[in-house]
Amino acid sequence: MPESKTLFITGASSGIGAQTARQAVAAGWNVGLFARSEDKIAKLAEELGDRTLALPGDVADRNAQAAALDRLTGKFGGIDAAFANAGTGVTASGTEGGDPAEWHDMIHANVMGVLYTAHAALPYLRKRKGHFVVTGSAAGRRHIKGSIYGAAKWFVHGFAGNLAEEMSEWGGRCTVVAPGMVDTEFFDEPDDSRLHPSDVADAVMHALDAPARADVREIFLMPNRNAG
Ligand SMILES: NC(=O)c1ccc[n+]([C@@H]2O[C@H](COP(=O)([O-])OP(=O)(O)OC[C@H]3O[C@@H](n4cnc5c(N)ncnc54)[C@H](OP(=O)(O)O)[C@@H]3O)[C@@H](O)[C@H]2O)c1
């Protein structure tokens, strides 16, 4: 890469987002690390060095995301890609047995948060024919009994396709990365037979590294539990 490109990552404090930050910095990108856990992103920024900027904030807060992008572009001159990855699950499963207060917070993070990232990032991405990547899910590709989380990810998949059409008008690209279960803090108990965060980060980097003529619209990856 002749000049360093810059990537804004939401949900960068752990799991898929943190690992993608590590791999992007190793590949020569500057990275903005956005999440609520100030201590964790500060620690990651310290680990990864000058190419990073810790940007504490809540994705459900539109102004916080706009302010973070303002700071990031102020430091590195612009952005070439945004990875809308922040997301959360719910503890009460199903619809009848679900908790509407949990749905409220989850939908504000997983749906409105993604829209706020796109709305704040697009003016910058347009300037560089940039790339929007978003974390969908296997749960956004198939029906899961009563799942409101899954329904929110169906929104993400639908939105990503629509945004790809909008961005292509000015040479931009949009990718939804849809993993099955990944071994992250999303779950209380670790399980090595799930995908690893690096598997998902590899997919993100593949989409970002594709030649500008190729818009990788979707990457769907599942754990191969019988791999041995
Ligand atoms: N793990 C899986 O099996 C799996 C499968 C498919 C898709 N996904 C999706 O992958 C994405 C990343 O999850 P993960 O598996 O890497 O889990 P994780 O380790 O729990 O990471 C979630 C990240 O999102 C951030 N986040 C959550 N709510 C936020 C908010 N309101 N504002 C800002 N940041 C917020 C968290 O940071 P803070 O708490 O510090 O804010 C954290 O950095 C999510 O969108 C998730 O739905 C996960």
CA of 179 to the centre of ligand 1 (A): 12
Could you confirm whether 149 is annotated as catalytic?
yes
Token code pair at residue 145: 């009994």
b/e 120-130 (16+ beta carbons within 10 angstroms → b)? bbbebbeebeb
Q: Which of 116, 124, 132, 149 is catalytic?
A: 149
Whether residue 181 has its Cβ less than 6 Å from ligand 1: yes
pLDDT tens-digit readout, 134-158? 999 999 999 999 999 999 999 999 9
For the full predicted model, state whether its pTM sits above 0.85: yes
In this structure, is the dihedral angle defined by the CA atoms of residues 213, 157, 138 and 58, taken in order, positive or negative? positive
Which residue lies with its CA nearest to atom 46 of ligand 1? 87
Ligand 1 atom showing the smallest separation from residue 110 Cα: 45
pLDDT tens-digit readout, 193-222? 999 999 999 999 999 999 999 999 999 999
What is the structure's pLDDT at 124? 98
Element (H, E) at 64: helix 62-76
3 state SS of 22: helix
In order of their start, the domains of the chain are: 6-221 (3.40.50.720)
Q: Enumerate helices (H) and strands (E) in the chain, giving the number of each.
A: 7, 7
